[in-house]
């Protein structure tokens, strides 16, 4: 069965120019190499043409497990001669297409299947002829190959593929993949990219989750339908789009996905908990309490106070009858709409809207007084309670000490309300906000000066509008002689609520494989609710299908480590763990940006003391509690802690607000990286290869002219020379080696570019590919 779309488009040129698309690669019998977007082609004598893909459009319909997918691409021949091209589609393992049609400008062309052995001859033929390992990742897969069609010079051709497939299912989760990773060979971004997937199920559709992309728009118009979309301009897809979904008629569904790499002592898991899209008609919505605490100091004057008023109106227009609410405003003094919580109805809504219209900006900022006032309104009858706290500056009135303000908030929050902070602009004490939200069961959001505050508040409120289960706890009990919970380091681990239509994504580690009993408990109003499921933790294996579980856990754990260092100070053990996780999983943070310094010495990666020293120096940036750098660092940290998908490429968590240049500077995820001397070379130099490259479970780091695989970063090329087997690339020994490599190792080897050496461990043995 085909677990995915028909793989990445390859186009084999019989003659003419050569290039690459977001879905495909053009090969030729002539001596042409595959281009890379950031490749060092100026070092290579062989030609690389400017063949271009203008657009890529993907439409699919999935009914239960049966999927029909249509892929349309528009190609432009920018050369001066006609291209005679045929397309080749590498088939994923276990792949089988039920039916397929191939059209060029509406005319159908024949396609035939090549078995894996015959397809290997095509892949290896290219590698031998061009001395380029780019296609190694497809060795071992079969392919569909089409007949030849022409593309005249300067002409466009729209290629359309339509095929049907049975979506792969495992442990109740359907797995639909749209392969886009071949875009790494493209010389230019796509002009336009669009994806639209309509998903229908007979049972209630529960889990809809993408471990690969945070930015998919997922609309849930009914319990049995989802519409998934993504539209981009000037777009280079960095990795495949993967969509997981499940269907279940129970009110709460839990799906466990796990991955235990053979070389690790513990496995990784992702738990998806999905309530109904809407509360059942016969179930009265759980009443909640919402307090909106609004900064009206002088710095809020103008657009910010107007947006704050609009955000308050949005909340008032979306409360449910029976909810409790109040609005607290503060400058040097503190005012509120009413002295105590109000029951929401038509009359209180009308008078509260009138109060909002009278909010104006002026005066200092009394954060402590505002929060004390708000928390003291709460009582044991408040039910699920959310305090939405908004500020754009530092505390200037009343208590101004950061630690004292946080301590008072913790003491006054006797009802365990969720504190959700919105930091507006660069002048906020972002460390104070993070400290308060961590200690008061909430989270922080940061709004840049050019962003709309109302959009942030309304988006957050829409997610928490309908609580269906509060104070949620999750426990696993392994079945067998020793009934115990063998999971650990789960994120998030506490302060969990479930809302109608909102999916909870938990990640963690586990020490024992096999069946386990999952118990989820929580409150529905004042009633305790219990749900039990049988789940399975996978044993150790080389199957990397769920590698995202490891990367997603690592991203959240790194966010947690940065948070602990930020709030409690530097700790050698935490710094060491930060360095190890960043290196292993390719998550280059502002504090480990030296990993992306390709001007460093090849032996630097193996020098752990040097890495710890560099990370320790860069962590000094966290002493900045406010300003643009402090704002950006805490926004970045929180994006890691709350991320819903695994970082699959070096730029996954790129940000624009961190400082660049010498000293402690260092950009997020690949904007800038400081070297040993404090200089900050750009990571995307013209005609330069990316210094950090991700391929599945592996990451590779370029140091000088040597590419180090993440499983060999402990190697010093000079000191460990006697332990390394040297093989010349594309020699008979090289091709003997790739006969023994796994698919994941082939992906890694394909990262090596011409003129680069590579140091890598394959099946426990060190190799240097020169």
Rounded CA Rg of the chain: 28
Under DSSP, is residue 358 helix (H, G, I), strand (E, B) or coil? Answer: coil
Give the model's pLDDT for residue 689: 60
Residue 258 tokens, joined: 């796990």
Which residues are CB-contacts of 139 (< 8 A; sequence separation ≥ 6)? 120, 123, 124, 738, 746
For residues 602 and 49, what is the distance between their CA atoms, to the nearest angstrom? 33
Q: Which burial class, exposed, middle or buried, applies to 234 when counting CB atoms under 10 A from its CB (0-12, 13-18, 19+)?
A: exposed
Q: What percent of the chain has pLDDT over 90?
A: 45
Q: What is the pLDDT of residues 585-626, one digit of tens each?
A: 888 899 998 888 877 788 888 888 999 999 999 999 999 999
Between CA 355 and CA 312 the distance in angstroms is: 10
**Which contacts (CB < 8 Å, 24+ apart) does range 674-683 have?**
674/593, 674/594, 674/597, 674/618, 675/594, 675/597, 675/599, 675/600, 676/594, 676/597, 676/600, 676/604, 676/614, 681/597, 681/598, 681/599, 683/596, 683/650
Contacts of 287 (CB under 8 A, 6+ apart): 320, 322, 323, 324, 383, 525
Task: Give bridge partners of residue 62 from the DSSP assignment.
Answer: 67, 199
Q: Are strands 385-391 and 289-295 parallel, antiparallel or unpaired?
A: parallel
Report whether pLDDT(462) > 60: yes
- Residues 659-685 have pLDDT tens digits of 433 333 232 233 222 233 333 323 333
- What tens digit of pLDDT does each residue of 131-165 get? 777 677 667 666 666 666 677 888 888 878 777 77
pLDDT in tens, 181-205: 555 555 678 889 999 999 999 988 9
The pair of three-digit structure tokens given for residue 621, joined into one six-digit string: 């940036």
Residue whose C-alpha is closest to residue 90's, from 33, 12, 170, 160:
12
Q: Which two tokens stand for residue 19?
A: 């290039």
Q: Which range has the worst mean pLDDT, 35-39, 352-356, 443-447, 761-765?
A: 35-39
Q: What pLDDT shows up at residue 482?
A: 60
CA angle centred on 343, ends 382 and 316, rounded to 5°: 100
Average pLDDT over residues 492-512: 88
CB 192 within 8 A of CB 183: no
**Sorting pLDDT into bands at 50, 70 and 90, what band is 61?**
very high
Cα 542–Cα 545–Cα 548 angle in degrees, nearest 5: 110
Q: Which residue has the higher pLDDT, 233 or 264?
A: 233
CB 673 within 8 A of CB 679: no
Confidence of residue 314 (pLDDT cuts 50, 70, 90): very high
Examine the pLDDT at 285 and tell me if it is beyond 70. yes
When the pLDDT of each residue in the chain is averaged and rounded to a whole number, the result is 81
Strand blocks (E) in 434-588: 443-447, 467-478, 487-491, 496-499, 504-510, 514-524, 527-537
Residue 183: what pLDDT?
52
Backbone phi, psi, residue 163, to 5°: -150, 160
Rounded to whole angstroms, the Cα distance separating 671 from 666 reads 8
pLDDT at 687 over 60: no
CA distance 578 to 575: 5
Q: Which residues pair with 289 in a beta bridge?
A: 324, 385
Q: Tell me the Ramachandran region of residue 201: left when phi exceeds 0, alpha when psi lies from -120 to 50, beta otherwise.
A: beta
CA–CA distance, 151 with 394 (Å, rounded to integer): 63
Task: Place 760 in a pLDDT band, splitting at 50, 70 and 90.
Answer: very high
On whether the CB atoms of residues 385 and 470 are closer than 8 A, the answer is no
Tell me the residue ranges of DSSP E strands in 285-370. 289-295, 324-330, 334-336, 342-343
Q: Which residue has the higher pLDDT, 63 or 127?
A: 63
Structure tokens at 229: 């979309």
**pLDDT for 667:** 29
Angle between helices 572-585 and 548-568 (to 10 degrees): 150
Question: Higher confidence at residue 523 or residue 313?
Answer: 313
Taking residues 111-126, what's their average pLDDT?
73
What is the predicted pLDDT for the residue at 570? Answer: 94
CA distance 176 to 226: 14
Q: Does the structure show a pLDDT above 90 at 725?
A: yes
Query: Hey, what are 484's tokens?
Result: 């115990």
Q: Which residues of 377-394 are buried (b: 16+ CB within 10 A; e: fewer)?
A: bbeeebbbbbbbbbbbbb
Lookup result for tokens 């030849």:
148
Output the pLDDT for position 370: 96
- Token pair of 501 as six digits: 């239509």
Q: pLDDT-based confidence at 341, cuts 50/70/90?
A: very high
Tell me the C-alpha distance between 579 and 608, whole Å. Answer: 9
- DSSP for 734-759, written as a single string: HHHHTTT--HHHHHHHTTPPTT-EEE
Whole-number Cα distances in Å, 721 to 129, 292, 718, 759: 30, 64, 5, 11
Rounded to the nearest 5 percent, the helix, strand and coil shares of the chain are: 25, 35, 40
Encode pLDDT of 527-554 as tens digits.
Answer: 888 999 999 999 998 888 888 899 999 9
Could you tell me which residues are beta bridge partners of residue 90?
A: 143
Residue of 134, 243, 180 whose CA lies nearest to 8: 180
Host H or E run for residue 398? none
Q: pLDDT band for 383, please (50, 70, 90 cuts).
A: confident
- The kind and range of the H/E element at 632 are helix 627-642
**DSSP notation for 230-249:** EEEEEE---S-EEEEEEE-S
pLDDT at 685: 32
Burial class (CB in 10 A: 0-12, 13-18, 19+), 613: middle
The mean pLDDT value for 369-384 works out to: 89
Across 705-711, average pLDDT = 92
What is residue 623's predicted lDDT score, i.e. its pLDDT?
A: 93
């Amino acid at each position: 069965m085909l677990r995915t779309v028909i793989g990445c488009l390859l186009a084999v040129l019989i003659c003419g120019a050569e290039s690459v698309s977001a879905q495909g690669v053009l090969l030729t019998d002539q001596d042409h190499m595959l281009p890379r977007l950031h490749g060092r082609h100026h070092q290579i004598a062989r030609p690389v043409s400017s063949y271009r893909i203008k657009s890529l459009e993907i439409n699919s319909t999935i009914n239960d497990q049966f999927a029909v997918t249509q892929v349309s691409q528009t190609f432009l021949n920018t050369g001066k001669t006609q291209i005679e091209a045929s397309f080749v589609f590498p088939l994923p393992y276990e792949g089988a297409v039920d039916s397929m049609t191939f059209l060029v400008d509406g005319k159908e062309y024949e396609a035939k299947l090549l078995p894996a052995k015959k397809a290997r001859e095509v892949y290896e033929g290219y590698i031998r002829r061009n001395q380029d390992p780019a296609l190694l990742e497809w060795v071992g897969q079969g392919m569909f190959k089409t007949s030849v069609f022409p593309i005249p010079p300067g002409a466009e051709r729209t290629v359309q593929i339509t095929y049907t497939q049975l979506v792969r299912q495992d442990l109740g989760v359907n797995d639909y993949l749209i392969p886009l990773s071949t875009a790494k060979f493209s010389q230019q971004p796509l002009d336009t990219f669009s994806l639209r997937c309509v998903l229908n199920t007979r049972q209630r559709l529960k889990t809809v989750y993408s471990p690969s992309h945070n930015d998919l728009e997922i609309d849930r118009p009914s319990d049995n339908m989802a519409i998934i979309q993504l539209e981009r301009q000037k777009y280079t897809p960095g990795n495949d789009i993967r969509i997981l979904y499940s269907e279940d008629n129970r009110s709460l569904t839990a799906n466990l996905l796990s991955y235990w790499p053979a070389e690790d002592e513990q496995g990784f898991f992702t738990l998806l908990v999905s309530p109904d899209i809407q509360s059942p008609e016969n179930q009265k919505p759980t009443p909640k309490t919402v307090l909106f605490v609004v900064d009206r100091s002088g710095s809020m004057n103008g657009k910010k106070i107007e947006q704050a008023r609009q955000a308050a109106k949005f909340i008032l227009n979306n409360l449910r009858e029976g909810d409790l609410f109040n609005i607290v405003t503060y400058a040097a003094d503190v005012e509120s709409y009413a002295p105590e919580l109000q029951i929401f109805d038509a009359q209180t809504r009308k008078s509260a809207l009138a109060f909002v219209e009278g909010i104006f900006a002026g005066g200092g900022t009394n954060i402590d007084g505002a929060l004390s006032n708000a928390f003291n309104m709460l009582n044991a009858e408040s039910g699920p309670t959310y305090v939405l706290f908004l500020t754009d500056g530092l505390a200037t009135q009343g208590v101004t000490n950061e630690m004292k303000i946080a301590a008072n908030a913790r003491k006054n929050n006797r009802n365990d309300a969720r504190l959700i902070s919105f930091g507006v602009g660069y002048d906020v004490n972002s460390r104070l906000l993070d400290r308060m939200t961590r200690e008061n069961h909430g989270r922080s959001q940061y709004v840049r000066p050019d962003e709309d505050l109302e959009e942030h508040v309304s988006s957050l409120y829409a997610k928490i509008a309908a609580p269906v289960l509060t104070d949620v706890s999750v426990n696993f009990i392994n079945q067998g002689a020793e009934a115990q919970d063998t999971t650990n380091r789960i994120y998030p681990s506490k302060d969990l609520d479930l809302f109608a239509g909102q999916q909870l994504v938990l990640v963690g580690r586990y020490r024992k494989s096999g069946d386990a009993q999952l118990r989820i408990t929580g409150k529905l109003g004042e009633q305790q609710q219990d749900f039990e499921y049988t789940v399975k933790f996978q044993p150790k294996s080389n199957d990397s299908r769920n590698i995202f579980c490891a990367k997603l856990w690592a991203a959240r754990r790194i966010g947690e480590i940065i948070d602990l260092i930020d709030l409690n100070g530097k700790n050698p053990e935490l710094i060491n763990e930060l360095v190890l996780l960043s290196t292993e999983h390719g998550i280059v943070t502002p504090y480990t940006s030296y990993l992306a310094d390709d001007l460093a010495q090849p032996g630097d990666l193996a020098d752990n003391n040097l890495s710890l020293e560099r990370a320790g120096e860069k962590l000094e940036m966290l002493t900045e509690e406010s300003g643009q750098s402090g704002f950006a660092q805490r926004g970045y940290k929180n994006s890691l802690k709350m991320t819903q998908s695994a970082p699959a490429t070096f730029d996954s968590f790129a940000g624009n607000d961190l400082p660049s240049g010498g000293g402690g500077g260092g950009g997020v995820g690949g904007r800038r990286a400081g070297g040993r001397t404090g200089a900050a070379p750009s990571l995307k130099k013209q005609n330069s290869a990316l210094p950090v490259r991700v391929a599945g479970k592996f990451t590779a780091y370029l140091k000088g002219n040597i590419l180090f695989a993440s499983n060999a970063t402990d190697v010093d090329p000079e000191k460990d020379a006697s332990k390394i087997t040297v093989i010349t690339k594309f020699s008979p020994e090289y091709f003997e080696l790739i006969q023994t490599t796994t698919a994941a190792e082939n992906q890694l080897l394909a990262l090596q570019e011409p003129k680069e050496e590579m140091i890598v461990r394959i099946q426990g043995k060190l190799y240097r590919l020169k």
